[in-house]
Amino acid sequence: MTPAERLLDLVIALTHTEHRMTKADVRATVNGYSQASNDDAFERMFERDKVTLRELGIPLVTLTDDAHGDDIGYRIDLDGYDLPRVDLSPAEIGVLSVAAQVWDGAHLDLPARRALTKLRAVSPAASGELSGHVLRIPPPSATFDPLLSAIASRAVVTFGYRGATSSAPAQRRVEPWQLVVRDGAWYVLGHDLVRDAERMFRLTRITGAVKVGARGGATHPRVTGTGGGLGATSRASGSIGRTVGDDGAADVARVAVRPERAGEVRLRALAATPGEAAWSGWDVLELAVGNADDLAGLLAGHTDAVVVLEPPHLREAVVTRLRAAAGLATVGTATTGTETDPVSEPATDPATGDIQSSAPTTGEAGRG
């Protein structure tokens, strides 16, 4: 019997026991434990299985007999084990559908598809913004799984890394934070303990196996939304785009997005918060600017669904594109000879030059 089968039988037994099961009960009635050659082997096997169940989030509780304090038994707390009903919105189903594409061609491809099939059977269809979105990303490499495991367990990883300008790999120790795709390649973003700074490493340049340290060994928390590490890599290679401003600060954009709109923009968000004041009812996203021209083109393509709050240079780039598009529409209408009304240039704020038609007016936030 495999360890997974033994664990499943143990879970079934501990959830159906009327009160508790002692170690003797487990050894005598649960399949797999009779394979232990002696008492010490059974103790080691059972202790490992208890740790595994708790790491999986299964609430295994320890009970002692009131009359005999050394008589210890175990059961699973059913109140803590039962999951609540899963209710997902069309936008959430859409996000999960897009996320499942990460595993295309990888070992979790089939489980991800099966999970989506089950969710779609009890949930509404994906929202139109995300249902047709296709991720253009490479399949995960052999280094992906150990890095993902280290991120989840807050562990330090060690690997050999061949830089863009070096011929021989160097040993790196990193506290990984996030796996991201940039320019069609997978990168791991984290704190480089060798250089004591945020860095991003391309997975295809990692040589050999990734060694994962002890759980909880990482101590440097990521500052959400700083965009750090992206800029460090772009300064070194010039291949990821500008993510650090002239003053050396991280170049992060804040944009207001209408609910369940601009799915492609949402996929790039570093953080999201509910809008306040004039932007109540909207979502405020933080985006790593990267290549400002590319981001401006993306945001302008969503017209009234997205409004750039900062930085000013990105706002200006988006406004420029919207004005150009409005001008082309005006010229096109004027040259057709039809009686349709020409499309005029959108109203602008005379003080800032910002287009006003995208921003909500007082009392109309989220509906303008």
- Separation between Cα atoms, residue 359 and residue 308, nearest integer Å: 10
Look at 119-128, 194-203, 225-234 and tell me which has the smallest mean pLDDT.
Answer: 225-234
pLDDT of residue 307: 94
**Domains of the chain, earliest start first:** 3-81 (1.10.10.10), 90-131 (no CATH), 144-237 (2.30.30), 252-336 (no CATH)
pLDDT digits (tens, 9 = 90+) for 33-86: 988 889 899 999 999 999 999 888 888 888 887 666 567 889 998 888 877 777
Res 350 pLDDT > 50: no
First to last CA, the chain: 63
Please state, in angstroms and as integers, the Cα–Cα distance from residue 198 to each residue in 80, 162, 209, 276, following that order.
Answer: 38, 17, 22, 31
Please list the residues that pair with 206 across neighbouring strands. Answer: 161
High-pLDDT (> 90) share of the chain, %: 21
B/e letters for 128-156, b = 16+ CB within 10 Å, e = fewer, are ebbeeeeeeeeebeebbebbeebbeebbb
In the prediction, which pLDDT does 132 show?
59
CA 280, 255, 312: angle at the middle one, nearest 5?
120
Question: Phi then psi for 179, rounded to 5 degrees?
Answer: -105, 125
pLDDT of residue 103: 76
pLDDT digits (tens, 9 = 90+) for 235-270: 333 333 333 333 333 478 899 999 888 877 887 788
Q: Tens of pLDDT along 109-152?
A: 788 888 888 887 777 666 555 555 666 677 778 888 899 899 98
- Tell me which of 105-119, 122-136, 188-202, 298-312 is least confident: 122-136
> How does DSSP classify residue 304?
G
d(CA 324, CA 219): 49
Region of poorest pLDDT, from 21-25, 59-63, 218-222, 340-344: 340-344
Q: How many residues appear in the chain?
A: 368
* Residue 312 near residue 292 (C-beta atoms within 8 A): no
Between 109 and 16, the higher pLDDT residue: 16
Is residue 362 scored above 80 in pLDDT?
no
Q: Which strands, in side-by-side order, build the sheet including 157-161? A: 197-202, 185-192, 170-182, 157-161, 206-212
| Structure-token pair, residue 261 | 């709109």
Find out whether 38 and 27 touch, Cβ atoms under 8 Å: no
pLDDT confidence of residue 126: 61
335-338: long-range pairs with CB below 8 Å, 24+: none
C-alpha span between 146 and 150 (Å, rounded): 6
Residue 359 has pLDDT above 50, yes or no: no
Q: In the prediction, which pLDDT does 283 show?
A: 92
The confidence score (pLDDT) of residue 295 equals: 85
Query: CB–CB of 320/314 below 8 Å?
Result: no
- Nearest CA-CA partner of 307 in 326, 337, 282: 282
